[in-house]
């Protein structure tokens, strides 16, 4: 799987770009939010990627920020939403604004995004509400945003273990003590979750 590419930006023809890496030109489809922030052609760029294989095609999608890639992936878990609509969402609204719309169940605002009707907007609210945390769409740890505290590191690790963002945050907050590193918080949180 291709998770990240760094190379020379050869062309920008929305929504497509070509990034040359080691003599190979990778064609990526990107949301407008990424396209606007890319450097000029001929300059170096680093993109997080999502590689999708379907029965008859393979596609590579590029993102500058981890929260965008996480939202792109989460959106496609909603019934009836594919890559095209997920890119439209990212092109039409920021990840923070999307999180706010989902938390507030603002179906009317969601339907203003191209490709999203009322029923799809309602499914998004129902299916993604628990994936939206206190300020933004929950992101997977790794490339991109780096957790800034032991508590954030612990929350990210608990999410990787399968806990929902809200539950992971609650476990970490309720078990941590001053001076705990991420490993200690995780250990205590897992013990608490198992009732030990």
Instruction: Give the pLDDT confidence of 91-150 residue by residue, as tens digits.
Output: 888 888 899 899 899 999 998 887 888 999 999 999 898 776 533 444 443 334 445 578
Give residue limits of the domains in the chain: 4-63, 67-131, 150-193
In sequence order, what are the residues at sequence separation of 6 or more whose Cβ sits closer than 8 angstroms to the Cβ of residue 33? 64, 68, 90, 91, 94
Domain 150-193: state its class.
mainly alpha
Domain 67-131 has CATH 1.10.150.20: yes
Domain 4-63: state its class.
mainly beta
pLDDT band at 160 (very low <50, low <70, confident <90, very high): low
Q: Is the pTM of this model over 0.75?
A: no
Average pLDDT, the chain: 84
């Amino acid at each position: 799987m291709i998770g990240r590419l760094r190379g020379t930006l050869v062309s920008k023809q929305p929504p497509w770009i070509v990034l040359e890496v080691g003599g190979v030109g990778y064609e990526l489809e990107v949301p407008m939010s990424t396209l606007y922030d890319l450097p000029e052609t001929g300059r170096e760029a680093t993109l997080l990627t999502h590689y999708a294989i379907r029965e008859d095609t393979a596609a590579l999608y590029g993102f500058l920020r981890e929260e965008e890639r996480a939202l792109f992936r989460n959106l496609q878990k909603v019934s009836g939403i594919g890559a095209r609509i997920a890119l439209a969402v990212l092109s039409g609204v920021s990840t923070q604004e999307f999180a706010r719309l989902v938390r507030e169940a603002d179906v009317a605002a969601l339907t203003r995004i191209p490709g999203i009707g009322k029923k799809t907007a309602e499914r998004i609210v129902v299916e993604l509400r628990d994936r939206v945390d206190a300020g933004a769409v929950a992101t997977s740890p790794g490339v991109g945003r780096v957790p800034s505290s032991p508590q954030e590191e612990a929350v990210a690790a608990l999410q990787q273990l399968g806990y929902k963002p809200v539950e992971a945050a609650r476990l970490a907050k309720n078990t941590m003590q001053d001076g705990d590193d991420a490993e200690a918080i995780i250990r205590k949180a897992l013990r608490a979750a198992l009732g030990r």
